[in-house]
Structure 1
């Protein structure tokens, strides 16, 4: 074959003359088909290697983002700690899913490259490229779908990160409002509830209901109140029946109180929403009975969200129609 010796590519000189002679013999024996086949095979390898490197880079980026996400604070002591946790969890889950797809692509590209490397030594390249209908498809056929997958995965990663940043910003603004309320005179801490008398707990519950914009029908309990200490009407016409139980620390509210409230709140007072408020906790039987009969137990963190941080009661109880619409 004819070789253009004006090329800028130089033959590597070897000290051993026989090596140089053997190499020149191979070059002289090469046909145009041989050289083109070698070039095409080399190009296939470069495409496979390039695809591998692109997905490997994406994997490293995803791993870096996962490491960063693991160091995010859980904000467990903040008003919206659970919301922050859910946002971080969604980020972790999305990154894990994307990483799984990227790692599978890396493995596929690596397998293709290794197969092509083996063919460099063992296959008759010119014969392979001359075949009109090869017995088996080229290993490079698996690279095509991967190259179509790369851009969508990169876009999904960007979307996941953008969504998480936007959610963090939204929660930070909401939490700033809650903390500002907690610093105001309208906030009531759990420690303040512990220091109250039973009557003061009822009055505070009534004040908080008024703060939320409810109309008070009954401000405190009295003889013959049939289990209702505070009764309030929401702007959309729903009646909330509260029973308040003040307990010294360590003494939980038992199931008997939930039984009593269940027997009167709806049958006697026509309550739409029934709430049992305490500064303490509830026994396991009380919690089980309340869950069965749709009685809201307002204490601990839930009471803190309502009274200390100023979150509206219906939002705390997940009875706000707007919240229900947002989850459907």
Structure 2
């Protein structure tokens, strides 16, 4: 191999004459081996850098999608808000794991490139002789790493497609809930707020009957012993409700309500499921006591899921109580 001095590449001319002379002497002393070794070394670096940039671009896209997923908003009034949150959380988790894997591969390729860059100061000829080991450059490691790019892209595309499908399915389900909310079987929170205490008890009884349970007591009284509404599920479980109506803006219900209900619902009425329901809310001590005694607190979003959107009572209370196969 010989230099083609007719090339269109010109020698740089520096302001310093000494630098020009030193450069010319180095070029005149160069052999074909020197030039080919330099070109091969440069090309290896370009191959490594190209692979690095491919993964770097993918990492940018994955992190952009991850950032977008972190900003996905969920309507707290949606009957499926928990499902939306779970789907978004799953997408964010999957994208985070994918980003970590892409970054790891990119950094491995970067290490190869840095090792090639460091080798630039060495005598390169020995690395490209026939007896030299090609693995010495580290470029062999990039091949298997580069082949991981397409499967990683496939994972990204699949994760985004799966999330889109999940959002579509949830939107279809929500449309059904919203359609139910405009029927006569639906009771909205503002309707509860306008009721008198007796009307509230009768409304709860009507909702229980709507679910297909047998209502054996529709409202309480002076001697109800903590039970306003009593119903029997199709599988024979007795549900006892204590209904507490509050005017809008009223104070949350405290633990004394739970204490009274706990003292009679099971010992006196033989309840299998005990529920305190209100159009208001409960204090932290009431939540704590109810949790200790296995009493369900029905209010706010859960009451709306049941009353407004038609989700069955036992499903709202918990999957462990719902009939087999019933979806949330």
In the superposition, the TM-score normalised over structure 2's length comes to 0.83
How much does 1:46 deviate?
3.0
Per-residue CA distance 1:269-309 (angstroms, 9 max, x = gap): 33221111111222222211101011001111111111112
Per-residue CA distance 1:37-56 (angstroms, 9 max, x = gap): 44543442233122112101
Residue 94 (str. 1) matches residue 94 (str. 2): yes
Contact 1:13–1:20, Cα closer than 8 Å, also in 2: no
Task: Describe the SS at the equivalent of 2:231.
Answer: strand
Per-residue CA distance 1:236-292 (angstroms, 9 max, x = gap): 332222111122331332222212221222223332211111112222222111010
Which residue of 2 is the match for residue 81 of structure 1?
Answer: 81
How much does 1:323 deviate?
7.4
Which residue of 2 is the match for residue 192 of structure 1?
Answer: 191
Which residue of 2 is the match for residue 66 of structure 1?
Answer: 66
Contact 1:221–1:229, Cα closer than 8 Å, also in 2: yes
1:288-299 aligned at under 5 Å gives the runs: 288-299=288-299
Which residue of 1 is the match for residue 110 of structure 2?
Answer: 110
Change (3 A) 1:71 1:252: closer
Task: Name the Cα RMSD after superposition.
Answer: 3.2
Change (3 A) 1:30 1:189: same
How much does 1:184 deviate?
1.9
Task: Describe the SS at the equivalent of 1:258.
Answer: helix
Q: Distance in 2 between matches of 1:61 and 1:75?
A: 27
Contact 2:116–2:137, Cα closer than 8 Å, also in 1: no
Bigger Cα displacement from structure 2, 296-305 vs 68-77:
68-77
Residue 167 (str. 1) matches residue 166 (str. 2): yes
Which residue of 1 is the match for residue 7 of structure 2?
Answer: 10
Q: Distance in 2 between matches of 1:133 and 1:15?
A: 33
Which residue of 1 is the match for residue 16 of structure 2?
Answer: none
Change (3 A) 1:221 1:20: closer
Contact 1:69–1:88, Cα closer than 8 Å, also in 2: yes
How much does 1:78 deviate?
2.8
Change (3 A) 1:20 1:322: same
Contact 1:315–1:323, Cα closer than 8 Å, also in 2: no
Change (3 A) 1:199 1:24: closer
Per-residue CA distance 1:81-101 (angstroms, 9 max, x = gap): 333233223222322232232
Change (3 A) 1:183 1:168: same
Gaps of 5+ in 1: none
Gaps of 5+ in 2: 14-19
Which residue of 2 is the match for residue 147 of structure 1?
Answer: 146
Q: Distance in 1 between matches of 2:252 and 2:67?
A: 42
How much does 1:189 deviate?
1.5
Which residue of 2 is the match for residue 157 of structure 1?
Answer: 156
Which residue of 1 is the match for residue 201 of structure 2?
Answer: 202
Which residue of 2 is the match for residue 262 of structure 1?
Answer: 262
Which residue of 2 is the match for residue 320 of structure 1?
Answer: 322
Task: Describe the SS at the equivalent of 1:87.
Answer: helix
Change (3 A) 1:131 1:283: same
Residue 228 (str. 1) matches residue 227 (str. 2): yes
